[in-house]
Amino acid sequence: MLELTVLAVPDCPNEPVLLERLAEVLADYPDATVTRTVITDEAAAARHGMHGSPTLLVNGTDPFAMEDARAEFSCRLYHGQDGGAPSVTALRKALAARA
């Protein structure tokens, strides 16, 4: 079973993009649970493991984090992806690897 957590700062413009793409992928994972957590400061970003907004945690781990990533209360760009959210293809690969 997949437990997904979306971490985002208030009014993050890329969170809706991530949620839309994630909804498409989750059709293949009907038992997955998704929790949304709003991060309001650096301490919360560190506590929850947010590497910029939005961050997707899959079973508690950020599958898109760079090796030397640290917690950040900021906007996030996904390298090699379409801007501020992983592509549907990247999300499919990340979830399949952890399912």
Q: Sign of torsion, CA 30 94 89 19?
A: positive
Cα(42)–Cα(78) distance, rounded to whole angstroms?
20
Predicted confidence band of residue 97 (pLDDT cuts 50, 70, 90)? very high
Locate the domains of the chain by residue range.
Answer: 30-98
Q: Which residues touch 87 (CB under 8 Å, ≥6 apart)?
A: 21, 81
% residues pLDDT > 90 (the chain): 79
Question: H or E stretch including 20?
Answer: helix 15-26
| Closest to 74 measured CA to CA, from 98, 94, 46 | 46
Q: Which whole number is the average pLDDT over 3-32?
A: 95
Cα(37)–Cα(25) distance, rounded to whole angstroms?
20
